[in-house]
Structure 1
Amino acid sequence: MNAAKTILITLIATLGLVMTSCENLNEVNKNPNAAEEVSSNYVLTYVLTRSARVYYNLGAEGSKIAGAMQYNQVGTDLDAAAVNQYGWGQESWNEYYDILRNNKIIYDNAVRDNNNFFKAVSLTIRASLFGLLTDLYGDIPYSEALNAKTGTFFPKYDPQLDVYKGVLKDLQEANTLLSALTAKDAINATSDVLYKGDAAKWKKFANSLRLRYCLRVSSKKAEMSAAGINLEEEFKNAASAVFTSNADDALINFLGTNGENSALGGLLNSPSPKYFIKPSRTFVSKLLSTGDPRLERWAQPVLNKWDSRVKKTVDSTVKNRFGDSFTVKFIPATASSVDTSLYVGLPIGLPVVQAMAYNKGTDAATYNPERNPYISFIHDRYRKNTDPYVNINWMTYAEVEFILAEAALAGNFGVAGTAEEHYKKGIKASLEKVAALGATGFDFEKFYAQPGVSYAAATTKLERILEQKWIAGWLTVQSWFDWRRTGYPNLKTGPVAQSGAALPIRFMYPTPNLDPSYLVNYNQAVSRLETSAYIPAGQSKDHPYGKMWLLQGTSKPW
């Protein structure tokens, strides 16, 4: 065969291959690993677990929020500046926006496939995450965010009012969609690690979030109304389909099989047990004063107890009301200044050296600075990979009842039932959640009748509601948002607080990108913050003590 004939045959074969394959070129050019091609069921698992995890981490044991809300203090210099002294720095929001980008895939797929269940779920998640971002920072990239594909690399920071409006609109739409699902609308139950594809529970979650955000912006009622959001009507509409028991909670349990699905303090995430995290004296004292059994779920007795009733040191086994056993060394108390309680919290904001030696009294022995035996540790369950009472509570029935109690007290949200009825249900739900209603020797009605718990006995009803909501919100970020909005509970700073007699009120923006386009948007957002007396002279308003729109003009929390 001559060369010319060989070339001709090769050319014809090649052309034939091209012609027969031409109709499939689009298929060949598709990337099987592209995010657009991933099933929404697969993406949903990631979005739910990561959303819940970042929410949990904000208020978890040893976090800045846990320190600010005086659930915890740290007893060594590890993180003491941030946790005990409120020396907060800039905070990244990359993970939030990464989750939102993945959530957008679910939303876009739902629109394409006309699946209203997926659409409603993605709207609920979007509202929760954008709501959380604006709660933390103030103005944030919102309307132009997540549009890098179309060339928007430096989105503007939307005013906080517009973000809250969008959050409530998304939740409103989610409720509408979830109220009219058809057979074609479905989610794989195994992918939905929150509600197993139960649309009724998703509807309750969306509406419970609506209550949270109506209350969140209630001090800005006039501005929200001018923006087209009638908070009272929004609240009334949502309240008809919200959580009605602990079974409705937006809760994800830790599996404890790897670092990603395990609790923070277990060995999979923390090779060294976090004994330096202590329950705070503020929190411990409050629960001790009312004999609250939840303390025994969340903290454990001291290892060494000062006791004026003993004449010599003796080891004894102590059982709490739930049957947990602890070995406690009872030591004769020779100094009047020591705390003789079985549960001892670490005072707020002590200098590190004092914190490590707190309550040692006349004991001259040297102890590991993390393990001062005269201060309680948080309960051992927080040093495990998984535990029935350590889980991610995105939103709870107890929170809903406290919201309804506050709304009923305000009197303009059309709440069925009295403020006291909802307040009492909130306490009961929190106790039930940790199986404390059945604790040995615990009588709920006697507990509730105490002057320190009773709604009727409270001088300031709102303070009483928010105080119990704070207890029920143990190790969650929501108590910080509530305190910031109301000033309750009335928390005081310690002697080494970096900014004096005030707790911080916002997260600082991430380190600014030096691109001119980014800086314009960032500077505009900072200009809309309000300065305060707690920002040192010459420092930017992008500061933990700068007031976002939500707090401006409210005189809250200080």
Structure 2
Amino acid sequence: MKATKSICITLLATLSLFLSSCEDLTEINKNPNSPENVSSNFIMTYVLTTTGKTVFTLGKDGSKIGAAMQYMQAGTNEGAAVINQYAWTQESWNTYYDILRNNQLVYDNGVRDNNRFFQAIALTMKSFVFGLLTDLYGDIPYSEALKAGSSTFFPKYDAQADVYKGILTDLREASALLSSLEAKDAVSATSDVMYKGDAAKWRKFANSLRLRYALRLVDKKAEMNALGVNIEAEFKEATALAFASNADDASIAYLGTNGDNSAPGGPLNSSNPNFLLKPGKPLVSKLYALNDPRLHRWVQPVQRKWDTGVTQTKVVTVTNIFGESYSVTYVPAASSSADTSLYVGLPIGMPITQAVAYNKGNDGAVYPNERNPYVSFIHDRYRKNTDPLVTMNLMTYSEVEFIRAEAALLGSFGLTDPADHYKKAIRASMEKAGVFSAASFDFEKYYAQPAVSYAAAANKQERILEQKWLSSWFGIQSWFDWRRTGYPALKAGEVAQFGPALPVRYMYPSPNLDPSYLVNYTSAVDRIGTSPYIPSGQSKDHPYGKMWLIQGTGKPW
């Protein structure tokens, strides 16, 4: 009996030890170097910086949009087909959806932790990135996107109107969440690389985006009303809550300490300085004619200048209004066709053999193709790892004031005095470019010019959009504005691949051959509008196919 009792006790002890050991093994098997739950602060940093870099890349020198808006042109053969000829091809949208997948984690964690600040940031960034996707492509995977975890591998392409409705809905919710935060709703100021945990600025950003999309949909008011979205009421509610100064800008600075956080044109990301791309002549000529100080911030003077006032070659030190000095060789002008300006842009859409030799005249010297000294270079700050004036801009106060100016002009948006908003927008752009550091610059004198003044403009909307285009240097919003309005009235060059017009959309990525994917892709392509610039027999999934947003508007061509 005693032996039996002893055995039972031993078995119980062993079983207890076994159960205890299993519990300990469960704890031990948690790998601290591979955590399943990553802090939303770390994910948020990735979402913000990757979004900023993506937006910057869309508009920078060498980009499709930068070329379409004639901020620059290819001065050598490299990239000329895409840049000068608009020979746009398909490209992946994986980066956008990767951002959105990570952003969804921020939102889900915010719901789990009952942190309304993280939820609001995630909704704002979701709206921003999905807004960018639909602006670029048209109909996109939206309502069924990001659901591979529930076995939705081939999401439908939602109608563009439904995507915009979802964006505006999410932005309203984000604004409401940000207006009712408690002490427990916090984010790390160091992880929030854009606003340092400032909820008030995040709310302004969410409402500024509402203004952007309300105006973008101005020609589709009836269709949006049918979906229950009143864009005029949306605008009226958001405008008082939107950006009020440059301090509110949704901007991220490049740190310049490694390739990942440096500007793409600097030596950490580009082993050879980029002199291949030249500033476009329409932009340079307009800034030059207006004596606009932003020209000096964005463009360098030529290295060799044709000049009718010299009889022999001489080197002159040229100093701009910001105190930057350049050595310029003045050369006697031998032809009346020579461009004698100190700042010379490359004409749009030239055949590459002409672009390489543009403005060289009778100078028989041999220069490297990318170093044609008779055409200006883009400013040297775009070949640095970091510069205070080269930032990743998701949205600026200047853009918001231009939006308000146009809305006030159009009426029914609850705003008056478009001239005041227009003037504030130009001043904000110049402040961001640091032009007021030049003591000699007189803003009132600049604004009073007949080619700048709002009162002097025969076509007020065109005047607003032209200055907005100038202020959007290397940005992407000017393309979306031009597509909606036709302003500024830019002309394609002679080598434009599909005729005398600029492209209006990005092509979808190469379709997956799975039948389920093809059904969704084909359905989206069927909804794209035709245009006279799509060659016979080619798919409507084309840079000149009209998305819903501009179908039936007669714009931009």
Q: What TM-score range do you get, normalising by the shorter chain? A: over 0.9
Matches within 5 A, 1:228-377: 228-377=228-377
Instruction: State the 1:133 CA deviation.
Output: 0.2
Q: Tell me how far apart the structure 2 counterparts of residues 418 and 40 of structure 1 sit (CA, whole Å).
A: 43
Partner of 1:3: none
Instruction: State the 1:91 CA deviation.
Output: 1.8
Matches within 5 A, 1:167-186: 167-186=167-186
Structure 2 residue identity aligned to 1:325: S
Q: Normalised by the size of structure 2, how large is the TM-score?
A: 0.96
8 Å CA contact 1:74–1:80 kept in 2: the answer is yes
Partner of 1:474: 473
8 Å CA contact 1:138–1:506 kept in 2: the answer is yes
SS in 2 for 1:370: helix
Unaligned runs of 5+ in 2: 1-7
Structure 2 residue identity aligned to 1:344: V
Structure 1 residue identity aligned to 2:502: L
Partner of 1:548: 547
Structure 1 residue identity aligned to 2:171: L
The verdict on how the C-alpha distance between 1:203 and 1:26 changes in structure 2, with shifts beyond 3 A counting, is: farther
The verdict on how the C-alpha distance between 1:166 and 1:25 changes in structure 2, with shifts beyond 3 A counting, is: farther
Q: Tell me how far apart the structure 2 counterparts of residues 254 and 237 of structure 1 sit (CA, whole Å).
A: 34
C-alpha RMSD of matched pairs (Å): 1.7
Matches within 5 A, 1:58-457: 58-415=58-415, 417-457=416-456
Partner of 1:534: 533
Structure 2 residue identity aligned to 1:43: I
Q: Tell me how far apart the structure 1 counterparts of residues 277 and 55 of structure 2 sit (CA, whole Å).
A: 20
SS in 2 for 1:305: strand
SS in 1 for 2:221: helix
Instruction: State the 1:213 CA deviation.
Output: 0.5
SS in 1 for 2:373: coil
Runs of 4+ in 1 over 3 A off after TM superposition: 8-18, 21-36
The verdict on how the C-alpha distance between 1:28 and 1:544 changes in structure 2, with shifts beyond 3 A counting, is: farther
Q: Normalised by the size of structure 1, how large is the TM-score?
A: 0.96
SS in 2 for 1:252: strand
Structure 1 residue identity aligned to 2:41: N
SS in 2 for 1:437: helix
Is the aligned partner of 1:491 residue 2:490?
A: yes
| Deviation sequence 1:12-42 (CA, Å, 0-9, x none) | 8875454114456765665656675000011
Q: Tell me how far apart the structure 1 counterparts of residues 35 and 108 of structure 2 sit (CA, whole Å).
A: 11
Instruction: State the 1:437 CA deviation.
Output: 2.6
Structure 2 residue identity aligned to 1:522: Y
The verdict on how the C-alpha distance between 1:145 and 1:292 changes in structure 2, with shifts beyond 3 A counting, is: same
Q: Tell me how far apart the structure 2 counterparts of residues 162 and 31 of structure 1 sit (CA, whole Å).
A: 43
| Deviation sequence 1:406-446 (CA, Å, 0-9, x none) | 0000111001x400000000000001111113424221111
The verdict on how the C-alpha distance between 1:53 and 1:10 changes in structure 2, with shifts beyond 3 A counting, is: farther
SS in 1 for 2:278: strand
Structure 1 residue identity aligned to 2:140: I
| Deviation sequence 1:372-423 (CA, Å, 0-9, x none) | 00000000111111111111111000000000000000111001x4000000
Q: Tell me how far apart the structure 2 counterparts of residues 157 and 490 of structure 1 sit (CA, whole Å).
A: 32
Q: Tell me how far apart the structure 2 counterparts of residues 25 and 147 of structure 1 sit (CA, whole Å).
A: 33
Partner of 2:3: none
Q: Tell me how far apart the structure 1 counterparts of residues 10 and 286 of structure 2 sit (CA, whole Å).
A: 88
Structure 2 residue identity aligned to 1:387: D
Unaligned runs of 5+ in 1: 1-7
8 Å CA contact 1:531–1:541 kept in 2: the answer is yes
| Deviation sequence 1:498-519 (CA, Å, 0-9, x none) | 0111100000000100011110
Instruction: State the 1:202 CA deviation.
Output: 0.3
How many residues end up aligned between the 2 structures?
Answer: 550
Q: Tell me how far apart the structure 1 counterparts of residues 205 and 513 of structure 2 sit (CA, whole Å).
A: 40
Structure 1 residue identity aligned to 2:42: Y
Structure 2 residue identity aligned to 1:552: Q
Instruction: State the 1:64 CA deviation.
Output: 1.1
Q: Tell me how far apart the structure 1 counterparts of residues 424 and 294 of structure 2 sit (CA, whole Å).
A: 16
8 Å CA contact 1:35–1:105 kept in 2: the answer is no
Is the aligned partner of 1:40 residue 2:31?
A: no
The verdict on how the C-alpha distance between 1:516 and 1:438 changes in structure 2, with shifts beyond 3 A counting, is: same
Q: Tell me how far apart the structure 2 counterparts of residues 61 and 209 of structure 1 sit (CA, whole Å).
A: 25
Q: Tell me how far apart the structure 1 counterparts of residues 347 and 50 of structure 2 sit (CA, whole Å).
A: 34
8 Å CA contact 1:335–1:361 kept in 2: the answer is yes
Instruction: State the 1:123 CA deviation.
Output: 0.2
8 Å CA contact 1:36–1:105 kept in 2: the answer is no
| Deviation sequence 1:115-135 (CA, Å, 0-9, x none) | 000000000000000000000
226-235 or 435-444, larger mean C-alpha shift: 435-444
